[in-house]
Amino acid sequence: MALFKGAGVAIVTPFEKDGSVNYKKLEELLDYQIQEGTDAIIICGTTGESSTLSEEEHSDVVRYTCEYVNKRIPVIAGTGSNCTETAIDLSKKAEKDGADGILVVTPYYNKATQKGLIEHYTDIAGSVDIPLIMYNVKSRTGCNIEAKTAAYLINNVENIVGIKEASGDISQVAQIAHLTNGELDMYSGNDDQTIPIMSLGGIGVISVVSNVAPAKVHEMAALYLDGKTKEAAQMQLDMLPLVDALFCEVNPIPVKTAMNLMGMEVGGLRKPLTPMEPEHAELLAQAMRDYGLKLV
């Protein structure tokens, strides 16, 4: 059984003015997502600035989220690292703290071979009893999970259940679907490819856009799952200008900017991420207005 179907939010980590985690605001964001129909919370992923959270902060945020959500919807914790042992440690802590599953990105900087990826994911999955979703995003990590590797892992490691596909390569997505015979739960990792990936057998999206338009992203995925493919495709096309604006600078700079423009007050970014360029912020604000989002 899939961890979730539909729209999972790759949620931001809100910060106080001093740069510490704003847990009160995190509660507000979690309630907002659940109220708007989001199907799963993905905490401490790329959008959550996991790379600049200390290991202690990382585990604290995961634990706090699991306790606050309290099984209302699934919580999936980002626990990836370029060090296998670190990823194992984070995964064990996430399981202990109540996560329903883990999302594990390919090792960055090391650029593992396909054999290395098999050993990396096998070791991490073997350290926990909760389901593992692989996260394939070569543009950030320099490391690609090839279709044959994904197929090997799903066939040989019991609790590897899914893949977040953000390679941008639709042909690769099709090959993964072909080789795994529907046994691997596929989620789009790119908001502009949700419906294309679902048309190849995907069951949802792990979405950045859901931070600002959760009900819309949920509705789009739900329409497709309900067989209303034409309506879902139109929602995807209507969303594209907003998606483009939300990725005109590196994620999560634009989405945090957008949330603050909407009055959500999620705070700033941790360096080396810096505030959005003014001209890009203007374009983002216009795209948000055009999509019907309310700015303060």
Looking at the annotation, which residues are catalytic?
135, 164
Confirm if 210 and 7 have CB atoms less than 8 A apart.
Answer: yes
Q: What are the φ/ψ torsions at residue 166 (nearest 5 degrees)?
A: -125, 30
**Closest among 200, 197, 195 to 224, alpha carbons compared:** 195
The helix (run of H) or strand (run of E) holding residue 180 is: helix 170-180
- How many CB atoms within 10 Å of residue 191? 26
Q: Which residues contact 275 (CB under 8 A, 6 or more apart)?
A: 253, 257, 268, 269
Angstrom distance (rounded) from CA 59 to CA 289: 36
Question: Whats the size of the chain, residue-wise?
Answer: 296
Between the alpha carbon of residue 289 and those of residues 90, 207, 231, the distances in Å are 39, 20, 22
Secondary structure E strands in the chain: 6-10, 40-43, 75-78, 101-105, 132-136, 160-165, 185-188, 204-207
Angstrom distance (rounded) from CA 148 to CA 72: 36
**Closest among 122, 13, 126, 118 to 60, alpha carbons compared:** 13
